[in-house]
A and B are shown apart, each in its own frame.
Chain A
Amino acid sequence: MSFSGPAEIKVALAGPPNVGKSTVFNLLTGLHQHVGNWAGKTVERKEGTFPYGRTSFRVIDLPGTYSLTAASPEELIAREFIIRERPDLVVAVLNAALLEHGLYLVAELLSLRIPVVIGLNMMDVARKEGLAIEPGVLSAALGLPVVPMEASSRGGIKELVKAIAAAAEGGRIPEPQRPVIREDHRLVLDRTGRLLEGTDLEPYPRDWVALKILEGDEDISRKVAAAVPPGRWEEILALLKRHDDALVAVASGRYAWIERMTRAALVRPQTGPISLTHRLDRWLTHPFWGLLAFAAVMAAVFSLTYALGIPLQGFLEKSVIQGLQGLVGGWTASSPWWIRGALVEGILGGVGTLLTFLPILILFFGFTALLEDVGYLARSAFVMDRFMHAMRLHGKSCLPLIISFGCNVPGVLGTRIIESTRARLLTMFLIPLIPCTGRMAVIAFLAPLFFREQAALVAIGLILLALGLLFATGMIGGRLFFRQDAAPFIMELPLYHVPHPRTICDLVRRRSIELVRKAVVVILPVSLAVWALSRFPEGRVESSYLAGFSRALEPAGTLMGFDWRLMVALFAGFIAKENSLAALAVLFGAGEGVALGDLIVSAYPPAVGLAFMASQLLFIPCAATVAAFKQESRSWRLTLFNVAYLFILSAAVGIAVYQASRRIL
């Protein structure tokens, strides 16, 4: 019995990917949201509230899933939430243009005996595809409330709220039409159900458990095998052995139900539609033109990002960070050197400089979010699939790798979209080989100094070198890791549609916040520590612990043509890659009147410059990436192995480049 006041109603938001579920969630909850992770998982959990009348509605956004089998962590999370936390109702957000597709999830929800309200989103897209849908007829057939929506222009959101409130408060929803298993398997289902009688399966409903056993659900099968009396599980297995196509029979039953439900409500166009998607895909997924289009799209994204972002970064660094440094330096002029240094060089120089790269990242994330939202990113995964196969990965691994060109940290976090754990780990392992904006900033500074007109050529050559090593690492790693392809490649290609600024802004905001949080939580202490190492005990770089360490490594450095200053610069990149430049500036005492560039060119021959650029490109990832790697891989061993691998690779390439180029240059 409950004694709480006006109850809080718990609403779960379910739906397949690419149906605008996030937009619906944002419209429902506005700014009252909380983003976290599902307990013990790296899948994002969003929760929010909205009031209606005197009741407060708590909305939990479930991960996007096509079904509720335990084939992926997302599916497991969604169904465990519904079963264990018993929300008062589930809102299923569907894409009206892919109605039958979405109803598969509804079929699964109904077998959990939970009240369902359908938000039929993207009605506009369905109309453009030539589909005629009658929500009222569909609602009558299903026995469920169906709300037509166009969430991208806020259409239908009020009606959805009303339907949610009515379903929650009105209490009784008429018994919906539920799918049944294909006729030839009804008997097996009954017998499986009877074999489960008398076993405590809480909190799982028994007929649902029987259905999942028939589907061969690994998670449920394991749980039942542990719960039933001895011998019973063997009986069930013997029964199933004679019906090994039960999974297909269950699914066929659901599609037969979908067919019945939509027969009157959905009218397809008479002629096969030559839709926008169809016309665009003829080019964009073509084996040859599609590849060319991909190259052109990426080139456009990068040149726009850098053309707009680099001047902004320079402005922030010169006016904001250096201005702040002057200001703070003035305030602390009379305090001990280490307080002043920690503030000016450690915090502002480290974290502050990193934050000046935020505009570049926001631009890059903005462009990739735009590509994702219009539906192109899935095509790029398809086009790149054959190259990824050489590494025994598939197209989906391409997406986090693209993001990593902006910054490796969101790239590592972005590997979550890959279903197979091993493929995810291998992709993560490859990410630090993608040159991020920080490393490209170092090259953009050094290449023109040493190579003048050929600077662009050198920079492109270095990027290709990194990508070639990525490919080689992936080929070897793939063969060591997997006997065959890591995960099945089967993915939906969403319909192209006009971008929604809200969705894009939301994505950019989330990725940027993630990064800033990382910068403050991880990079702040690390950059202070590295700063301290580079100054203590005497307050001078030349006599610091870092210099001592680098001097000890100098014999190895000479193989690459490096003196101790370049070694310090290389290690300083561990705070943030672009810190290498800051370290050099400190070591050379560059300041007013003396440009760092001139000092560097007069100190080193081009061969050393080239070797330095190559090894800093491949050097151990920055602290933030290492932290993200550990968090996502949940393995210190793999994290440290990755760091060691890059350390050795970077040294080997540095030596090879120096030894080869000093004979040529």
Chain B
Amino acid sequence: MTPRAAGPMTLAQLSSGRRAVVAGLDGGRRLLARMVSLGFVPGVEVVMVQNPGRGALIVQIREARVALGRGEAHRILIAPARLPA
């Protein structure tokens, strides 16, 4: 992997078809409650289904597909996915 600029990556920056692991969540309590109830917790793997670069995006989390706004996706910090064993 090429070294990238400092600072954590957010879900909004993950391109279509790529995998990542949720590293942290940030946001008001209501938004957090909504995120965790749809499965966003640290450690969970997500696959970006569709990220057109602007506007809302779609991710696959466990078996579910979740659509979320770009602003909301910016609140989800990600880390590189673990490589399959």
Contact = CB atoms under 8 A, between A and B. Distances in A.
B39 A395 contact: no
A255 B69 contact: no
Interface in A279-300: 281, 285-287
Contacts of B34: 71, 488, 490
A98 interface: yes
B32 A493 contact: no
A66 interface: yes
A431 B35 CA distance: 30
> Contact residue range for chain A?
35 or more
A572 B80 CA distance: 65
B32 to A, nearest CB: 5
Given A218-B29, A251-B36, A287-B52, A394 B69 contact: yes
21 contacts: A66-B38, A71-B33, A100-B63, A101-B38, A131-B63, A215-B33, A247-B32, A285-B67, A382-B67, A385-B55, A385-B56, A386-B55, A389-B69, A395-B67, A485-B71, A488-B27, A488-B69, A489-B67, A492-B64, A493-B58, A493-B66
A473 interface: no
A101 B64 contact: yes
> Contact residue range for chain B?
20 to 34
Interface string B53-74: 0111010001111111101100
Given A71-B30, A131-B63, A493-B65, A247 B36 contact: yes
Contact of A490 (B44, B54, B55, B67): B67
B38 A489 contact: no
Interface in A485-504: 485, 488-493, 495
Contact of B63 (A104, A129, A247, A255): A129
Given A281-B50, A488-B34, A248 B65 contact: no
Instruction: Please name the 3 residue pairs, one residue from A and one from B, whose CB atoms are nearest each other, closest first.
Output: A489-B69, A251-B36, A67-B37
A488 B29 CA distance: 11
Contacts of B14: none
A382 B57 CA distance: 9
B65 A281 contact: yes
Interface in A382-398: 382, 385-386, 389, 394-395
B68 A489 contact: yes
B63 A99 contact: yes
Contacts of A216: 29, 32-33
A131 B63 CA distance: 10
B39 A255 contact: yes
A278 B64 CA distance: 11
B19 to A, nearest CB: 10
Contacts of A29: none
B46 interface: no
A69 interface: yes
Given A281-B65, A385-B69, A252 B38 contact: no
B25 A248 contact: yes
Interface in A567-588: none
A78 to B, nearest CB: 12
A491 B31 CA distance: 12
Interface of A: 66-67, 69, 71, 97-101, 104, 129, 131, 215-216, 218, 247-248, 251-252, 255, 268, 277-278, 281, 285-287, 378, 381-382, 385-386, 389, 394-395, 485, 488-493, 495
B44 to A, nearest CB: 7
A208 B30 CA distance: 19
A248 B58 contact: no
B35 A490 contact: yes
B85 to A, nearest CB: 14
A131 B62 CA distance: 12
Nearest to B54: A386
A66 B37 contact: yes
Nearest to A131: B63
A216 B31 CA distance: 12
B56 A489 contact: yes
Contacts of B43: 252
B16 to A, nearest CB: 10
Interface in B7-53: 25, 27, 29-39, 41-44, 49-50, 52
B41 A251 contact: yes
Contacts of A389: 55, 69
B54 to A, nearest CB: 8
Given A489-B56, A490-B68, A490-B69, A101 B62 contact: yes
A493 B67 contact: yes
Contacts of A491: 66-68
B64 to A, nearest CB: 5
B62 to A, nearest CB: 5
Contact of A277 (B38, B44, B65): B65
Contacts of B33: 67, 69, 71, 215-216, 247
B41 A255 contact: yes
Contacts of A218: 29
A278 B29 CA distance: 32
